[in-house]
Every structure is written in structure tokens, then in C-alpha cells.
Amino acid sequence: DIQMTQSPSSLSASVGDRVTITCRASQSISSYLNWYQQKPGKAPKLLIYAASSLQSGVPSRFSGSGSGTDFTLTISSLQPEDFATYYCQQSYSTPQNSFGQGTKLEIK
Amino acid sequence: EVQLVESGGGLIQPGGSLRLSCAASGFTVSSNYMSWVRQAPGKGLEWVSVIYSGGSTYYADSVKGRFTISRDNSKNTLYLQMNSLRAEDTAVYYCARTIAAQMDVWGKGTTVTVSS
């Protein structure tokens, strides 16, 4: 099974900050990596797919990069509505598409 | 509007059964891959099951042999039959449209609590 490890597990930042979240796979997954945002009590929302493709309707301040085993999600300028938990998900070993443990982004 | 609405959750005793439903609108369930994902209280996301457009089904090891995913094309609805429920199955269950393994449309979820 492919294990996905996110870092950090939690992060405090301020509005306007540039933030980077990292996701590492236990083996190479090429670019088969997706990112989701989840707010408390809500369903997850797809942000980035195939490592760097922005889902329709997602603000351009979100970007993704990486391939192989190391990936990053970057928010260029944090907005108040961005404080949430972020999950990566590998889609290489379909259908066993495992998620990372999540990164909680909190207001400093 | 593309939408998914789950129902069927509730409180159930260990060993019991429950069937979750996920009604779709704005797209055709049978033409898409459809997944179930769950989230235990205070925990992360866990993929549970998927049904492909061709009808193939797959399950996480944690639910294999106990859960069954299916769909009713006439009702445009996805199901998850859950048998032999355990306390560790307690979670919010989400259905999601799955395109090329990314989940682009999610329901709001339905809560399953397994407790005596």
C-alpha cells in the first residue's frame, strides 16, 4: 500500500502570508496527486488534480507542484476563507486511493 | 445543478446493518465512477469503496466482505450496504463522483454511529 505523509500536521499563518504544505508518497506516484480543502462540518472540495492542474472555479492563489514522491500545495496570499484542513490523495494505485493525514491551517 | 445527497445514516448497534443512499442530480451515476469516503470523528479521510461505470466494484480492506456498493440506474442513486457493523465504522460517510480518480463532486455526508 502507498502511504501518504503530509507536513506539517498543523500550521499557523496570517492573512496575506504565503503558505506551503508538503505531501510525500512512500513510493513514486508520478503526478497522480490531488489536493482537497475541507472546512469544519463540510464536505471536502477538490482544489488541485494531477499534481498541478487547478480545478475549475478554484482561485488562482492555489497552486500545486511536484512529481514522483514529493509534492507541494502553495497558497500565494492567504485569505480568511482559506483557513481549513488540507488533504492530499494519491490516485496512482487506483482504486486504493489513499489520503494523507491532513494539515490544519489555522489563523495566527 | 450537479448535486449528491446522502441519506440513511443513524444509530445502529454493533453487528447490525444499514444501507446508505446517495441520490444524484445533474449527471448520470451509471456513466461515472462513484466512490464512498468516510471520516471518523476528529480523523482524516478514508476511501471506502468505488463502483466503476462498467460495474466493477472495489473495497478498502477494512470493509471488504462486510460492505457492498451498488447503484440503481433507474433512480440515479448509489448505495452502500453495510453489514456486521463495528464501532470503528462510526463516521460521516460521503459519496463522491470520481473522474480519473479525483473526486470532483461530493455530497454533504450522512452520519453513522455504531454503539450499544
Which three-class secondary structure string do you get for A3-56? CEEEECCEEEECCCCCEEEEEEECCCCCCCEEEEEECCCCCCEEEEECCCEECC
**Residue A26: all three cell numbers together:** 512512500
Chain A residues closer than 8 Å to B104 by CB: 46, 49, 55
**Residue B76: all three cell numbers together:** 440515479
Cα-Cα-Cα-Cα dihedral of B114, A44, A30, B32, to 10°?
A: 80
Task: Give the model confidence (pLDDT) of A19-73 as tens digits.
Answer: 999 999 999 999 999 999 999 999 999 999 999 999 999 999 999 999 999 999 9
Amino acid type, A73: L
Enumerate chain B positions whose Cβ falls within 8 A of a Cβ in A.
Answer: 37, 44-47, 50, 58, 60, 94, 100-104, 106-109
Per-residue model confidence (pLDDT) at position A96:
85
Indicate yes or no: CB of B47 within 8 angstroms of CB of A99.
yes
| pLDDT over 90 at B100, yes or no | no
Spatial separation of the C-alpha atoms in residues B9 and B17, rounded to whole Å: 11
Task: Give the model confidence (pLDDT) of B34-44 as tens digits.
Answer: 999 999 999 99
| pLDDT over 90 at A108, yes or no | no
| pLDDT over 90 at A94, yes or no | no
The minimal CB distance from A95 to the residues B46, B50, B104 is found for B50
Q: Which position has the grid cell 490516485? A: A91
Indicate yes or no: CB of A43 within 8 angstroms of CB of B106.
yes
Closest of B66, B33, B69 to residue B49, by C-alpha: B69
**Residue A27: all three cell numbers together:** 513510493
Provide the CA A27 distance to its chain's centre, in angstroms.
18
Mean pLDDT of B4-19: 98
Indicate yes or no: CB of A99 within 8 angstroms of CB of B46.
yes
Whole-number percent of chain B with pLDDT over 70: 100
- Taking every pair of Cα atoms in chain A, the longest distance, rounded to a whole number of angstroms, is 38
A52 contact B CB<8A: no
A–B CB contacts, 8 A cutoff, strictly below:
55
Task: Give the model confidence (pLDDT) of B36-83 as tens digits.
Answer: 999 999 999 999 999 999 999 999 999 999 999 999 999 999 999 999
Mean pLDDT of A6-20: 97
Per-residue model confidence (pLDDT) at position B55:
95
Indicate yes or no: CB of A43 within 8 angstroms of CB of B50.
no
Chain B residues closer than 8 Å to A97 by CB: 47, 101
Chain A residues closer than 8 Å to B100 by CB: 49-50, 91
